[in-house]
Amino acid sequence: MKKLCLAAFAFSLALAPMSFETKSATAEELVSCKAAYLCDSESGVCAYSANETQRLPIASMCKIMTLLLCFEAVEDGNLSYDEQIAVSDSASGMGGSQVFLGSGLSYRAEELMKTIAVCSANDSCVAMAERLSGSESLFVERMNARAKELGADNTLFANCTGLPKEPQYSCAKDVALMLRSLLTHKKYFEFSKVWLEDFSHPDGRTTTITNTNKLIRFYEGCDGGKTGYTGQAGFCLAATAKRGDTRLISVVIGAENSDKRFQSVKNLFNYAFANYESRKIAEAGKPLDIKLDVRGGKQKQIPVCTERDLTVFCKRGEEVNTTTEFYFDEGVKAPLAAGTKVGEVVLYRDGVEAGRSPLIAAETAEKFSYGDAYRAIAGEW
């Protein structure tokens, strides 16, 4: 892969340095909890933090990792949404939040994953853990390994449900990191936005499931998240909300009551939406001001575009200094269909990576044929 990095290809240039305040008097008054974290979902840039790396119990928010591993299993081809999952005695016997799965019955994986996302079903968590790893304990090993892979260094899981068991802990920053990864799976939003729904059992029973995250109904733009509560952890919430091009993640750990956790997250969202924006640097599908050399094509060069939007999360009105580096695959040959991946672009803000996207061909490059060569020669006579 060859690298192309020229100042002329910078999307935006200004002189002001990057400056983020992770704590401010304005935001400090808005949260009532042991720890909190507010960041941009796309880049992970922090807009507010308080005790963000303090190791604390997070209760059912650990199901963010449980769900992430389920979605990744589907992505890797190790699980299908239509697969029938047999429920063991241990899974059906789970206490706390549950959907009352019947021991010995089989349920579609998609339906079990939905109940985890919507009503925090402990029985569904264990059923999925046993399916994916053979036992809950082996699944927990994978949860901890995945946390390390993500860089969640202040996280240790003891089970897949978040029910009290020592030792287990996480922190507000790590929870936000795990939720960022979960949000990359678009199917998740089909589950997370469900407010009220009937869950049908194979034996004819019906259980009504209700979303534990009230903000999806009562806060504009909120379309996902995970609540948590135990006596040790207090009231917890990790939620996401999107308005315009800006998607935020807000995490609250250890609030005194349910109202305070929801209000704290709402206040943090309000603070960020009022003071920050996601400034679009490159629009997905829109040709950039650079072209790709194509070997053996009727056209020697074709335009390229980003596969997804590239944005910079910054304070409203703030000048930002951004540059880009382009990495093109070597030896790109015709024929080449529009939409084919041909490289990658990395966006930097003040020298720090702020995002990246695959580069794709914006046009089709047809192969230069013998007939084309003959006509070209004939045209010169």
Q: What is the per-residue pLDDT across 142-181, written as a single tens digit (0 to 9) for each? A: 999 999 999 999 999 999 999 999 999 999 999 999 999 9
Domain 2-16+283-370, what architecture?
Answer: Sandwich (2.60)
pLDDT digits (tens, 9 = 90+) for 225-280: 999 999 999 999 999 999 999 999 999 999 999 999 999 999 999 999 999 999 99
**Residue range 31-276, CATH number:** 3.40.710.10
| Contacts with 354 (C-beta within 8 Å, 6 or more apart), sequence order | 43, 45, 312, 313, 322, 347, 348
What would the mean pLDDT of 91-95 be, rounded to a whole number?
94
pLDDT at residue 72 in the model: 98
- Residue 150 CA to residue 157 CA, distance in Å, equals 14
- Residue 221 CA to residue 195 CA, distance in Å, equals 14
Q: Where in the chain is the domain with CATH 3.40.710.10?
A: 31-276
49-53, 116-120, 128-132, 365-369: least confident range: 365-369
Q: Where in the chain is the domain with CATH 2.60.410.10?
A: 2-16+283-370
| Catalytically annotated residues | 60, 63, 120
Taking the model in full, what pTM does it have? 0.85
pLDDT digits (tens, 9 = 90+) for 286-343: 999 989 999 887 888 899 999 999 999 999 999 989 999 999 999 888 899 999 999 9
Residue 173's nearest CA partner among 153, 157, 146, 158 is 153
pLDDT at residue 26 in the model: 52
